[in-house]
Amino acid sequence: MENIKGMKRTRYCGEFRPEHIGENATVFGWVQRMRNLGGLIFVDLRDRSGVVQCTFDEAINKELFDKAFTVRSEFVLAISGTVRSRGEGAINDKLPTGGVEILADEIRILSKANTTPFEIVEDSDVNDVLRLKYRYLDLRRPDMQRTIALRHRIAKIARDYYDENGFYEIETPILTKSTPEGARDYLVPSRVHPGKFYALPQSPQQYKQLLMLAGFDRYIQITRCFRDEDLRADRQPEFTQIDLEMSFVDVDDVIAVNEGFIARLFRDIHGIELERPFMRMPYAEAMDRFGSDKPDLRFGYELKNISDIVANTEFKVFSGAIEAGGSVRLINVNGGGATFKRKEIDALGEFVKTYRAKGLAWMKFTDGEMTSSFAKFLSDAEIAAIKDRAQAGDNDLILVVADAKDDVVFASLGALRCECAKRMNVIDKNDYKILWVTDFPLFEYDEEEERYVAKHHPFTSPRDEDIDLLDTHPEKVCAKAYDIVINGSEAGGGSIRIHDSALQAKMFKALGFTEEKANEQFGHLIEAFSYGAPPHGGLAFGLDRLVMLISGRESIRDVIAFPKVQNASELMMASPDVVDEKQLKELHIALDLPEKE
């Protein structure tokens, strides 16, 4: 193979423009394609910035022409020459470099290439397994190049912004300790301490609070976190958080700083000036209006409670749900009357069943006529009241869920409104609706454990005005917790922490911890707080999620260079894998395999 000795890149391939005509150019890259037009060879050379056409003219240099004729797709080349105009008819408007070409006077073949298992082009429909096995080829595709470059840019803006605002990036350990509550830990056997294990962190939560106790005042870290859970489509066993914590703050301070970051991102990347302050919505309102704690505000279809209207109806599906302590709520899919045929409405009925709803009632107004699955059971007055509550007019579709559990009504209608919006195609992809959801409940009742558990974690502070309710009505206590929601996705969340030992003790008591159990599990933290603790709070953004939201990518795998698949394996390196018996011996562990595996 030849080498690049004496050659220096003058520009990346994608940067050539008409103003560079006449320049001497040297480019390095991969052959996108080679075309021989008889006497003229065109080599499209690609690097991370784009593609430039390099031209070899047989009449000018036969030897060079012949050499160019030997190249194939994905060969790696160094080409020198002169930038010239493509001339009238040859201009390619679709290509940023389409007005010019490089008339080559040198070509070096730096590496040959076998035929790749798939073509390196934008948006190819190659299957995922092949893409991930040959990830280094998949990443050559322009859309993947752009996404990974954007991810770098987002992380860089985060670091710049928080640095400018006085945050120190401080690294916390990856080899740390298994935590008793929360998701399943990845464990790492210790060779030096037989029978003991490190755990990979689910988040640096405890460390960042200790950094506040240590007086660092403002901490940030873009860091890997680990959860050994059964993967959903949008989860990875290792994922990246923009994790931060601040001292001497309350809710408004944390929100203000982080709002600034999101505004900066949208300004720098999309050129969008977001209106500030962002909207804030209490959790209770978000559930009531949108059936979700991460409402997508780019469209309407808000939930309406019609329990008062149908509480005494003879239709038992409705009145029974209310009697059992639940509710009856609807959404009005404006304009959905024509779009959704009977069959599609039946499909929506199946859809809500995945959220444990027992069924979907509907009412539709088309061409002045009303059809409905349930109207026949209701009085005219009840129907009129429902139509009025839904503000339904001609061509609208009302969808109703009734259940003895509010949770089920919210979850199913919350998901349904998003699903309908998608099918109605009412979502503007270039619109960004951002809000803070605040005042989450501090506790949720764990039916299995028959006690209240912390909705976030046991160090989350209650609202000042709710502290007295801790002993008497824990279910009514709201937390100083906040999530930032972008277009219906949770981009980040956090809380103010408890820094007062007396309040922390009250909290443990509400969670049903004895003093002994609290000390056993959190003794080192409780002790740490006894040496002078500042008020503090923080937040973590999911970087993968942020990149998805900003790039418009729909799969988390597309925003991570080397992602894992649903069964937590990585296809390119083929990890995890078996290891030597000797390695296990050194770690004082043995395999304990399920039978017949």
Helix, coil or strand: residue 519: helix
Q: Decide: is 165 part of the binding site for its own copies (CB under 8 A).
A: no
114 binds its own copies (CB under 8 A): yes
Site residues for its own copies, 408-437, by CB under 8 A, read none
Query: In this chain, which of 192, 273, 380, 430 binds its own copies, going by CB under 8 A?
Result: 192
294 in contact with its own copies (CB under 8 A): no
Please provide the distance, in angstroms rounded to a whole number, between the alpha carbons at the two ends of the chain: 48
352 binds its own copies (CB under 8 A): no
d(CA 471, CA 413): 34
Q: Segment near its own copies (CB under 8 A), from 28-36, 295-303, 476-484, 507-515?
A: 28-36
Is 44 an interacting residue with respect to its own copies (CB under 8 A)?
no
Among the listed residues 250, 268, 346, 490, the single contact to its own copies using CB under 8 A: 250
Q: Which stretch binds its own copies (CB under 8 A): 339-347, 418-426, 468-476, 521-529?
A: 521-529
- Span of 346-354, 373-381, 510-518, 533-541 interacting with its own copies by CB under 8 A: 533-541
Task: Please report whether residue 186 would count as binding its own copies according to CB under 8 A.
Answer: yes
Counting contacts by CB under 8 A, is residue 233 touching its own copies? no
Select the residue interacting with its own copies from 198, 261, 365, 522 (CB under 8 A).
198
> Which position among 105, 228, 234, 285 is part of the footprint of its own copies (CB under 8 A)?
228
CA-nearest of 578, 564, 576 to 132 is 564
Within 62-101, the residues that bind its own copies by CB under 8 A are: 74-76, 78
Between 186 and 351, whose beta carbon lies closer to its own copies? 186
> What six digits make up the tokens of 275?
């209106």
| Interface region with its own copies, contact rule CB under 8 A, candidates 146-154, 298-306, 328-336, 420-428 | 146-154
State which of residues 187, 311, 426, 469 lies at the interface with its own copies (CB under 8 A): 187
Q: Does 555 bind its own copies (CB under 8 A)?
A: no
Q: Which of 207, 365, 374, 440 binds its own copies (CB under 8 A)?
A: 207
3-state DSSP call for residue 222? strand
Q: Does the footprint of its own copies cover residue 129 (CB under 8 A)?
A: no
567-578: burial string, b at 16+ Cβ within 10 Å, e else: ebebbeeeeeee
Q: Is 534 in the site for its own copies (CB under 8 A)?
A: yes
CA atoms within 13 Å, Cβ hemisphere of 520: 7
Gap between the Cα atoms of 533 and 237, Å rounded: 33
- Out of 85, 111, 312, 354, the only residue in the binding site for its own copies (CB under 8 A) is 111
For the four alpha carbons of 339, 342, 347 and 349, in that order, the dihedral sign comes to positive
| Residue 575 touching its own copies (CB under 8 A) | yes
Q: Does 345 bind its own copies (CB under 8 A)?
A: no
Choices 288-296, 307-315, 363-371, 589-597 (CB under 8 A): range interacting with its own copies: 589-597
Among 70, 90, 121, 156, binds its own copies (CB under 8 A): 156
Contact pick of 44, 55, 64, 185 for its own copies (by CB under 8 A)? 185
Candidate residues 61, 96, 106, 216; the one interacting with its own copies per rule CB under 8 A: 216
Contact 587, 194 (CB under 8 A): no
277 sits near its own copies (criterion: CB under 8 A): no
Number of residues interacting with its own copies: please give it, by CB under 8 A: 127
- Listed ranges 130-138, 273-281, 367-375, 403-411: which one lies at the site for its own copies (CB under 8 A): 130-138
Give least dist CB 336 to its own copies, A. 41
158 makes contact with its own copies (CB under 8 A): no
Edge-first strand listing for the sheet containing 238-247: 168-169, 218-226, 238-247, 536-542, 489-496, 481-486, 434-438, 279-282
Name the residue nearer to its own copies (CB basis): 371 or 501: 501
Rounded Cα distance between 451 and 456, Å, is 15
| Cα separation, 555 vs 540, whole angstroms | 21
Neighbouring residues of 55: CB distance < 8 A, sequence distance ≥ 6 = 40, 41, 42, 43, 81, 101, 102, 103, 104
Dihedral (Cα; 345, 348, 352, 354), 10-degree rounding: 140
**Rounded distance, CA 537 to CA 205, Å?**
11
Long-range pairs of 451-454 with CB within 8 A, sequence gap ≥ 24: 451/511, 451/512, 452/510, 452/511, 452/512, 453/511, 454/511
Secondary structure of 7-55 in the HEC alphabet?
A: CCCCCCHHHCCHHHCCCEEEEEEEEEEEEECCCEEEEEEEECCEEEEEE
Among 446, 530, 554, 555, interactor with its own copies by CB under 8 A: 530
Candidates 20, 131, 151, 364; binder of its own copies (CB under 8 A) is 151
Taking CB under 8 A as the rule, does residue 247 contact its own copies? yes
Token pair listed for 572: 């390119």
Tell me if 540 contacts its own copies by CB under 8 A. Answer: no
Looking at the Cβ atoms of 29 and 458, the one nearer to its own copies is: 29
Is there binding between residue 562 and its own copies (CB under 8 A)? Answer: yes
- For 248, phi then psi, to 5°, come to 60, 50
Which residues between 464 and 483 bind its own copies (CB under 8 A)? 464
The answer to whether residue 577 forms part of the interface with its own copies (CB under 8 A) is: yes
Cα–Cα distances (Å) from 571 to 127, 135, 346, 412, 559, in that order, read: 13, 9, 39, 36, 16
